[in-house]
């Protein structure tokens, strides 16, 4: 693999120009700036809120300095609460080209679009000379998420990703699984796999927090489509989701924006801290993908039984389909047919190895199905998190 070398020593597997809106009022302008370049590695990301949020500011900073990102154009309306100056300084300090356009100062929609496209053209040309360097498996960060799950997910795609995670961790890579709201009932299993008792306690607490969060809202992470697909309870869904983590020891518990300090297996807690706030949304797949990327993920492994067609901005998404019937209907959107396990055409270990090999090819430049289809979904909303404590990353210092 040949990665794009960044000033902090990390390497990217893509060289994206990110056009980032800093309030919903600037979203349209950002989209129009990027539109002619959608096939040239220009992606739109952003935060829609008008009043500031520390979580959103941190996520945007981590995304703007993500190893897959080579340059960033910030698009501001001019009167929102987002601190555009601080974000620009963080990106500039990382050695990346960054520029800020303020719509109210530039002269409105048309002039800002023209100025933005002119800057993007220059950024694309500049990134062509970005230095490349040999990249090894142990430098990869890979996240996983499940969406549109059904009764086949926990039998095929999820445990196959778990096998791929074991291979990645054994090779020295970083693997991140989530979400604590879909691991209810599995906390003791994760505690037993934790590298310290203190970490085990933090993991159990994080799952209990998720249970309280969902109880306050009156529902859990269980959609009508899950039931229609044959899942019966959150415990059954949790067991399937848990199988994505594989069998490696758990090295740490992180929250959105925390980049693991070394290789190993990490649990990402995406459920907000503090009191329940009903203005905060329920957990959704695309938000979790963004949070995995903000933790440094180069690639996302997305398992689905019912079928999901989404991809993501900034990092390629590998679709692992659990249900063979779903794969036959949505083959163009899928990368791996794990449903072959159910039909006796492939062994679990073999599909796990197939996923692992595909991750390496994608890291080497091969496009995923969602990339080929132009998917660049992105969602970022309001949340609140407290910093992790030393028990969450034992031995990090």
Q: What is the mean pLDDT of the chain?
A: 93
Q: Is the pLDDT of residue 69 over 80?
A: yes
pLDDT digits (tens, 9 = 90+) for 258-270: 999 999 999 999 9
For the question of whether the overall pTM of this predicted structure is more than 0.85, the answer is: yes
Q: How far apart are CA 256 and CA 355, in angstroms?
A: 25
| 156 DSSP assignment | T
* 182 touches 146 (CB < 8 A): yes
Q: How far apart are CA 15 and CA 40, in angstroms?
A: 10
Q: Where are the domains of the chain?
A: 2-133, 137-392
Determine the Cα–Cα distance for residues 159 and 339; give it in Å rounded to an integer.
Answer: 12
CA gyration radius for the chain? 20
Q: Are 306 and 229 within 8 A, CB to CB?
A: yes
Span 2-133 CATH architecture? 3-Layer(aba) Sandwich (3.40)
Give dist(CA 301, CA 1) in Å, integer. 19
In the predicted model, is pLDDT for residue 282 greater than 80? no
- pLDDT of 14 above 70: yes
151 band by pLDDT with thresholds 50, 70 and 90: confident
Q: How far apart are CA 185 and CA 390, in angstroms?
A: 25
Residues 101-129, mean pLDDT to the nearest whole number: 97
Q: How far is CA 112 from the centre of its chain?
A: 30
């Amino acid at each position: 693999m040949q990665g794009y070398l960044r000033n902090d020593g990390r390497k990217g597997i893509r060289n994206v120009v990110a056009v980032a809106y800093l309030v919903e009022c600037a979203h349209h302008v950002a989209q129009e700036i990027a539109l002619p370049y959608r096939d040239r590695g220009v992606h739109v990301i952003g935060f829609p809120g008008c009043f500031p949020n520390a979580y959103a500011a941190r996520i945007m900073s981590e995304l703007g300095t993500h190893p897959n990102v080579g340059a960033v154009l910030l698009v501001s309306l001019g009167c929102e609460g987002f601190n555009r100056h601080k974000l620009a300084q963080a990106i500039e300090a990382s050695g990346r080209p960054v520029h800020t356009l303020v719509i109210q100062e530039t002269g409105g929609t048309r002039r800002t679009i023209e100025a933005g496209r002119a800057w993007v053209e220059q950024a694309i040309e500049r990134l062509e000379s970005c230095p490349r360097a040999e990249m090894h498996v142990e430098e990869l960060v890979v996240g996983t998420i499940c969406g549109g799950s059904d009764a086949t997910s926990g039998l095929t795609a999820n445990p196959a990703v778990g096998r791929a995670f074991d291979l990645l961790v054994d090779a020295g890579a970083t693997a991140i699984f989530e979400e604590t709201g879909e691991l209810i009932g599995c906390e003791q299993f994760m505690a037993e796999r934790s590298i310290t008792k203190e970490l085990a306690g933090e993991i159990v607490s994080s799952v209990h927090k998720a249970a309280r969060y969902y109880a306050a809202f009156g529902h859990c992470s269980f959609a009508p489509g899950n039931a229609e697909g044959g899942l019966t309870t959150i415990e059954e869904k949790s067991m399937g989701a848990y199988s994505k983590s594989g069998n490696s020891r758990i090295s740490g518990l992180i929250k959105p924006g925390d980049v693991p300090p070394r290789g190993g297996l990490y649990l990402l807690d995406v459920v907000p801290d503090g009191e329940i706030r009903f203005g905060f949304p329920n957990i959704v797949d695309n938000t979790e993908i963004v949070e995995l990327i903000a933790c440094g993920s180069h690639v996302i492994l997305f398992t689905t039984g019912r079928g999901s067609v989404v991809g993501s901005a900034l990092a390629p998404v590998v679709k692992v389909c659990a249900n063979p019937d779903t794969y036959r209907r949505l083959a163009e959107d899928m990368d791996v047919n794990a449903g072959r396990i159910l039909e006796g055409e492939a062994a679990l270990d073999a599909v796990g190895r197939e996923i692992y090999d595909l991750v390496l090819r994608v890291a080497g430049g091969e496009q995923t199905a969602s990339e080929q289809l132009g998917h660049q979904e992105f969602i970022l909303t309001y949340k609140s998190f407290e910093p992790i404590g030393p028990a969450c990353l034992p031995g990090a210092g």
